[in-house]
Amino acid sequence: MNQQYPSQLLEKAVSEFAKLPGIGRKTAMRLVLHLLRQETTAVERFGQAIMTLRREVKYCKVCHNLSDTETCRICSHPGRDASTICVVETVRDVMAVEATQQFRGLYHVLGGVISPMDGIGPSDLQIESLVERVRTGNVKEVILALSSTMEGDTTNFFIFRKLAPLDVKMSVIARGISIGDELQYADEVTLGRSILNRTEFTGTI
């Protein structure tokens, strides 16, 4: 459809929004028109927040998570257990694990998983620095918390081989039936695995 924009400024703003993933030109137009109805100061706040983030945000030099400081809040927290490292793909995974309030160790953010299809090899990820952390620090356990996909499994195995020569315990997060799920709706691979990896029942879950 040959949609002629009445203003080049408008077209430029819509084009920029439409570059975002999952945002088409119609949605972009809707968002831009929404911003046009806001106060100038509110729009400035929006633009500045994003530009400041891109310019000033840091990556923690220990775990590579996003941070406002050289070393992130978690890595510099005295109450966290530095001998346990949970390896995750992204910032979002750190937030997801933190939200469970079940983990008091530190993290290591790989920045993705090995995926030859997407041209992502081990050297594109923070794997060497993980090995270095384990080699030089007092790390007792590395918990692999990657996606339960072929790429995640490949990466798990790669890290396993890299860390095997070092004296460190390695574990993967449990895979099985989600809490609240009914068995009839679980996929057969998950169900099969959850039977193989059954845990001893001692009266309580």
Single out the segment in contact with a copy of itself by CB under 8 A; choices: 26-34, 121-129, 134-142, 177-185: 26-34
Nearer to a copy of itself, 97 or 146 (CB): 97
Query: CA–CA separation, 115 vs 134, rounded Å?
Result: 24
Long-range contacts formed by 95-104: CB under 8 A, 24+ apart: 97/145, 98/74, 104/79, 104/80
24, 61, 68, 169: which one binds a copy of itself (CB under 8 A) = 68
Residue 4 makes contact with a copy of itself by CB under 8 A: yes
Angstrom distance (rounded) from CA 130 to CA 91: 16
Amino acid (1-letter code) at residue 25:
R
- CA–CA distances in Å: residue 99 to residues 32, 46, 93, 96: 33, 27, 10, 5
44 binds a copy of itself (CB under 8 A): yes
Does 35 sit near a copy of itself (CB under 8 A)?
yes
- 119 counts as binding a copy of itself under rule CB under 8 A: no
Contacting positions for a copy of itself (CB under 8 A): 1-10, 12-13, 15-17, 19-23, 27, 29-36, 38, 40, 43-58, 60, 65-68, 72-74, 90-92, 94-96, 98-99, 101
